[in-house]
Amino acid sequence: MSFEIIPAIDLIDGQAVRLSQGDYTQKKVYANDPLEMALRFEDAGIRRLHLVDLDGAKAGSLKNLPVLERLAKQTKLQIDFGGGIACRDDLQSVFDAGAEMAAIGSLALKQSELFAEFVLEFGAEKIFTGADVRNELIAVKGWTENTSMHIDSFIRQLLEIGVTKVFCTDIQRDGMLSGPSTDLYKRLLEEFPKLKLTASGGVSCMDDLHKLKATGCSGAIIGKAYYEGKISLKELQTFNA
């Protein structure tokens, strides 16, 4: 079974940053130019990139589209882009700017009928749905708003409209280097065997990636573990080999 490692570049004001537990006040800038970072990933044999418009997620509208366009033009990475997609025009703009997939979270929950229309028009394979959780309840709007929707119910709704590509972030682990929510992912995959689940949040070392692969996850999004030197590009190359 293939397992894809997907580095994340999170954007605020056009810079590559990381937050801790989704807290915008706990921001650390890792690169002024995200393109340099993307090229480094590409040179290491990475094929995918998770590009997150944190400004857009918070504001509810696209803010870092020019960064997506630049990275799509100057690398061969398959980019999924999310944060601030609020309407069909936004989604079209993301694809026009070069994204392979659109990463959608808040809208999938809060405007489920509109989301279903997106899936019907653009195809489920073009949608990478975010299920961001605190204590297994979905959080939206860049993790700033909690909901009462349980992740199981949310995934059930997604599968009903043909969406299978889901990335699940345990917000309390994100950026903390405390290890991923392996038990949660294992349970979800047992309950929903058609799910193509990508793990996100908490990856701290290569051993975490091996454990996630063993659970049956389709891949893992990594961020801080790479940026803080816990995982090297050389190790990722070996893992992908």
Among candidate residues 10, 53, 90, 170, the one labeled active-site is: 10
Among candidate residues 80, 132, 170, 208, the one labeled active-site is: 132
10 is catalytic: yes
Q: How far apart (Å, rounded) are the C-alpha atoms in residues 101 and 127?
A: 5
Structure tokens at 168: 């699940």
Task: For residue 89, give every residue at least 6 positions away whose Cβ sits within 8 Å of its Cβ, in sequence order, or none.
Answer: none
Task: For residue 38, give every residue at least 6 positions away whose Cβ sits within 8 Å of its Cβ, in sequence order, or none.
Answer: 9, 49, 71, 74, 75, 77
170 is catalytic: no
The amino acid at 190: E
**Hey, which residues are catalytic here?**
10, 132
